Amino acid sequence: MKKLSLILTAALFAACAQQPVAQPLLEQLKQTAESGRFYYCHQDDLMYGHSWRLEDADCDFSRSDVFDVCGEYPSMLGYDLGGIELGSDKNLDGNSFRQMRQAAAWLHDKGGIITFSWHPRNPLTGGDAWDVSSDKVVESILPGGEKHDEFMVWLQRAADYIQSYGFPLIFRPWHENSGSWFWWGADLCTPEQFKQLWIMTYDYFVKERGIDNLVWAYSPNGVVDAEKYMLTYPGDEYVDIMGFDYYHGHSANFTEGMRSQMETILPLAKEHGKVMAVCETGSEGIGNPKWWTEELLPSVEGFPVAYVLTWRNAWDRPQHFFGPWKGAACEQDFVEFCNNERTIFVK
């Protein structure tokens, strides 16, 4: 059983992306990674779980699939901004933006950390984030593009929401860009356009809006080639975390596949003075009941990673789960994972 210990140290002002308010969080992530431990993060935890979800009027956020199984909460929550760009009350998976903020504050008060991803709609076609029918989308939203002004309103809405949190957060925009399943993916824009998109986002948030509570995470998917990883890297000034997304099934052996990612990224993270993290992972439906201790833990063994995020437990798709839940075959194994000395949970 472990308690989350918050280690806040004096700020080290290196040449990196984070702003003063985010600095203690970044230091905490660095020190945690160096200590050999990592935060366990679960996407959409507290909002819903396998076969349950919050009602709109709910303001008690104590239910959690993770807690149901091990009696402790994930030390990190992953939430998604998808839908905020349109001014919606709920995100793309039906979570209320208000409740996400309340639940995040609830876990933050217990020492927890929040990380945001963003699956925004396609600003050119009107489709969703997965609409890759045009390779002109990124171009269209960059300065001078036909959708630039509209897209700046999307950024403004996302910035307003993030600003309403008032405590440090991890922001992981434009993720999995090494694949081509999102409109900002590898085959849909040039590396230069991708970097411009990132820098435009950063400049608007940080320089124009003065948002100083974000730690910025860069997270391509499944890249084992250092040159490819760096091809779309926006620059040290704009990134704090060098992470990656990698799922079970990407290669024949998950553990080896994960380790190859980190063998590529760790030297880069060291060279650039960044923190490494597993920004998204999981095995959909967790076929191996010992996945947590037989596959996930060995995959990060010996690597300094600040956190490991497993994706969501959909409440309406019984096989679409990546975390534990009461009754799942992996229940007991997850308790062992929770009790392992490396993992950090919140009581």
Q: State the residues that interact with ligand BMA by CB under 6 A.
A: 80, 92-93, 119, 311-312
Q: Please, what is the minimum distance in Å from the beta carbon of residue 63 to ligand BMA?
A: 19
> Judged by CB, which is closer to ligand BMA: 228, or 320?
320
> Judged by CB, which is closer to ligand BMA: 78, or 145?
78
> Judged by CB, which is closer to ligand BMA: 44, or 333?
44
Q: Please, what is the minimum distance in Å from the beta carbon of residue 41 to ligand BMA?
A: 14
> Judged by CB, which is closer to ligand BMA: 83, or 304?
83
Q: Please, what is the minimum distance in Å from the beta carbon of residue 93 to ligand BMA?
A: 5
Q: Please, what is the minimum distance in Å from the beta carbon of residue 37 to ligand BMA?
A: 27
> Which 3-state string (H, E, C) describes the chain?
CCCCCCCCCCCCCCCCCCCHHHHHHHHHHHHHHHHCCEEEEEECCCCEECCEECCCCCCCCCCCHHHHHHCCEECEEEEECCCHHHCCCECCCCCEHHHHHHHHHHHHHCCCEEEEECCCCCCCCCCCCCCCCCCCHHHHHCCCCCCHHHHHHHHHHHHHHHHCCCCCEEEECCCCCCCCCCCCCCCCCCHHHHHHHHHHHHHHHHHHCCCCCEEEEECCECCCCHHHHHHCCCCHHHCCEEEEEEECCCCCCHHHHHHHHHHHHHHHHHHHCCEEEEEEEECCCCCCCCHHHHHHHHHHCCCCCCEEEECCCCCCCCCCCCCCCCCCCCHHHHHHHHHCCCEEEEC
> Judged by CB, which is closer to ligand BMA: 248, or 259?
248
Angle at 119 between CA 113 and CA 123, to 5 degrees: 140
Q: Please, what is the minimum distance in Å from the beta carbon of residue 331 to ligand BMA?
A: 21
Q: Please, what is the minimum distance in Å from the beta carbon of residue 44 to ligand BMA?
A: 7
Q: Please, what is the minimum distance in Å from the beta carbon of residue 273 to ligand BMA?
A: 31
> Judged by CB, which is closer to ligand BMA: 91, or 264?
91
> Judged by CB, which is closer to ligand BMA: 37, or 312?
312
> Judged by CB, which is closer to ligand BMA: 63, or 119?
119
Q: Please, what is the minimum distance in Å from the beta carbon of residue 311 to ligand BMA?
A: 6
